[in-house]
A = this chain, B = another copy of it.
Amino acid sequence: MSDRLSRVFAALADPTRRDLVARLSVADATVGDLAAPYDVSIQAVSKHLKVLEGAGLVSRRKEAQRRPVHLEAEVLDLMTMWIERYRRQAEERFQRLDGLLAEMNEPTADTPPLEEGTAS
């Protein structure tokens, strides 16, 4: 199951699990409550929750025979950071390209050295 980030992305790749997260963002809920709207078995939902838990997106506390589930929203930031990093990079590259094109139209004496990325 590889790394943390992979687990988080994989966890949210399933529509049912995304819906669970959406509902848990409103309020904590028990497994039974969560399972009600779907027409799958409660065991299936329990498995989904285990996946979310494995990704750190959710925690379960113990309360009598009930097991209320709680959304750990901070983990979402991990993803946002990853995504934004590369979106920004791509954007900058776009800008650089624009600059380059502008320069080609209006050559100003020196040509600045272009570093091509060796992304390990």
- CB within 8 Å of B: which of A66-107? 71, 73, 76-77, 79-80, 82-84, 86-87, 89-91, 93
Q: Does B120 lie within 8 Å of A37, measured CB to CB?
A: yes
Q: Does B117 lie within 8 Å of A26, measured CB to CB?
A: yes
Chosen A-B contacts, 8 in total, with CB atoms closer than 8 Å, are: A5-B15, A6-B15, A10-B10, A21-B86, A25-B90, A26-B89, A26-B93, A29-B119
Other A-B pairs, 5, CB within 8 Å; known A25-B93, A26-B117, A27-B117: A3-B15, A9-B13, A22-B89, A22-B119, A29-B119
Interface of A is mostly: helix
A11 to B21: give the CA distance in the assembly, Å. Answer: 19
